[in-house]
Structure 1
């Protein structure tokens, strides 16, 4: 019996447990509320054809209509402060920060099937913002949203912020605002730990899965000899991978890190072949909140909380913490 065949029952059980964690009706943690509204807990890897999720990835060389690079945000002007009449003062009066999140992106934002808590790197960022405003990292009402919901819930002021693997780009700046970049993701590969593949250039003759209709799948056409295998979602790719139907999966390193955490026989390899700068989404008419969040992010990086969160959630799959993204400012309020 091959190693691949022998591990199928084990991996099938792990996938089932992960799916249970995203769908079970567990009670949220004691001081954190969960709002589901009309949004189902769906996969974070939706086809790029869906308008809000289809915007091209941002790069440092790209300039938006205001002449600023997409990762440029509003200078915080020092440590975060809450003044009377500010957006943050209104949130403090309400008593909770409302945050749009994923509940099924393992390691970034997913529901723990044993505790019912939503947790991950994105969730840690949200908790630091809640703590800075309310003095309590658990003073949050989570709103579980899909990738396609992210801009809409901000434009409609249904949430205060979105922390859901949200790539900053010029098209989105037309509708909402962003914090400075807090994580730099990129397209990589998930392969069996026994594979000789160490990067994209080693994929000739390999079957590589990616969600259909995405730029991730389209990029595979750049490498000669690669057999691109489209699937409905990255989760479907994981099933094909564990059944031995494909040799690798490609996607954002954050997504693949979650899969590697589920599958002890898989690892993330290769240098990133795209730029996906993640930022906190904020309503466009709240520049004071943008400045405040940027101050929180600066403090989180300066005192080591950013690195601590990375090590906890992403370190095992992606290696030692990289240098945090350098904030870029210059955008007018």
Structure 2
């Protein structure tokens, strides 16, 4: 069994920044919605048992953004005066809170604002957050939040799967991610993927496909769960785990915050994680509007500008995925 490396240097650095990291992610005393607690028991979603063909197949827009604004679900949001969205507050680069301005920011947050601008076209772009209620949720609470009606959308690095389509609906894919492994810097030359994790403690959040995938791909590793990836990073900084697994986008954000947290160079993703915007299964009209917004973001450069700002510096160039339609 591999000897676990000491963490003295990294742990000291990590402990020093842990407080700043959490404060920057909306978990301080500022008036931001609290993340809801993860389940007390580890929640490992079972391997997919559904076959829906291509899970990224969504509802075709069948109209412009202006035309689709008349859908039942969209009218309800407009009448309420606010779009309620479940987000992450601890996923740097995707969805986190700026410690200086107090604003939520990231690639996922830009997607939220694009949808809100479509629903409330008379609102100035600078004031669009006044039309959004951000609800900070854990990964495990994404589907329950939609099913209960607590949120209109979930924009929280949400992988589209056949099993999830049994419970909710998804937009077309807005980003194609993949699962990888992050390790402490001492192991950066030893770990290229899940096959090299035997004997190591590996953290993944409860209720995620990341947890399901790593259990299958690294059966000789010791799997440790947490409520979210920020908690995984704190565990790594404290020496409780040697590795974290998750989507390349999430790991890029963790690595950018801690010089001792490294995604090995040239690592291949061991899963396909197409991100979609989650919507209640009872509201296909809203899905169609969201898809129209995504189509518009392709032609007007909104998607490209957001990706280049948040993710390209860490992940390199990418293009917006082509949509797949045909769901009735």
Three-state SS of the structure 2 residue aligned to 1:23 is: coil
Task: Tell me what 2:102 maps to.
Answer: 116
Task: Tell me what 1:31 maps to.
Answer: none
Residues 231 and 157 (structure 1 numbering): CA distance in 2 closer, same or farther, change over 3 Å? closer
Question: Shift of residue 122 of structure 1?
Answer: 1.3
Q: TM-score, normalised by structure 1?
A: 0.79
Task: Tell me what 2:21 maps to.
Answer: 18
Task: Tell me what 2:66 maps to.
Answer: 81
Three-state SS of the structure 2 residue aligned to 1:209 is: strand
Aligned counterpart in structure 2 of residue 309 of structure 1, from 306, 310, 315:
306
RMSD, matched Cα: 3.1
Q: Are 1:180 and 2:172 an aligned pair?
A: yes
Q: Matched residues in 1 for 2:239 and 2:43: separation? A: 26
Residues 88 and 177 (structure 1 numbering): CA distance in 2 closer, same or farther, change over 3 Å? same
| C-alpha contact 2:215 2:223 (8 A) present in aligned 1 | no
Question: Shift of residue 244 of structure 1?
Answer: 5.4
Question: Shift of residue 193 of structure 1?
Answer: 5.2
Three-state SS of the structure 1 residue aligned to 2:303 is: helix
Task: Tell me what 1:203 maps to.
Answer: 196
| C-alpha contact 1:161 1:282 (8 A) present in aligned 2 | yes
Task: Tell me what 2:136 maps to.
Answer: 144
Q: Matched residues in 2 for 1:185 and 1:63: separation? A: 21
Residues 56 and 126 (structure 1 numbering): CA distance in 2 closer, same or farther, change over 3 Å? farther
Question: Shift of residue 184 of structure 1?
Answer: 1.9
Q: TM-score, normalised by structure 2?
A: 0.80
Higher mean Cα deviation, 96-105 or 245-254?
245-254
Question: Runs of 5+ in structure 1 lacking a partner?
Answer: 28-33
Deviations 1:85-125 (A, max 9, x none): 63223322322211111222222222223332222221111
Residues 3 and 79 (structure 1 numbering): CA distance in 2 closer, same or farther, change over 3 Å? farther
Task: Tell me what 2:320 maps to.
Answer: 324
Residues 293 and 91 (structure 1 numbering): CA distance in 2 closer, same or farther, change over 3 Å? same
Residues 100-111 of structure 1 aligned to structure 2 (within 5 Å): 100-111=86-97
Q: Matched residues in 1 for 2:223 and 2:165: separation? A: 33
Higher mean Cα deviation, 11-20 or 273-282?
11-20
Q: Are 1:71 and 2:36 an aligned pair?
A: no
Question: Shift of residue 262 of structure 1?
Answer: 0.9
Q: Matched residues in 1 for 2:35 and 2:78: separation? A: 28
| C-alpha contact 1:70 1:168 (8 A) present in aligned 2 | yes
Q: How many residues align?
A: 307
Task: Tell me what 2:157 maps to.
Answer: 165
| C-alpha contact 2:181 2:194 (8 A) present in aligned 1 | no
Residues 95 and 76 (structure 1 numbering): CA distance in 2 closer, same or farther, change over 3 Å? same
Question: Shift of residue 188 of structure 1?
Answer: 0.5
Q: Are 1:129 and 2:125 an aligned pair?
A: no
Deviations 1:210-230 (A, max 9, x none): 2387324313436xxx64353
| C-alpha contact 1:185 1:277 (8 A) present in aligned 2 | yes
Task: Tell me what 1:291 maps to.
Answer: 288
Q: Matched residues in 2 for 1:183 and 1:13: separation? A: 33
Task: Tell me what 1:230 maps to.
Answer: 224
Deviations 1:18-41 (A, max 9, x none): 1223321324xxxxxx6x4xx634
Question: Runs of 5+ in structure 2 lacking a partner?
Answer: none
Three-state SS of the structure 1 residue aligned to 2:263 is: strand
Q: Matched residues in 2 for 1:47 and 1:298: separation? A: 38
Question: Shift of residue 292 of structure 1?
Answer: 0.9
Three-state SS of the structure 2 residue aligned to 1:40 is: coil
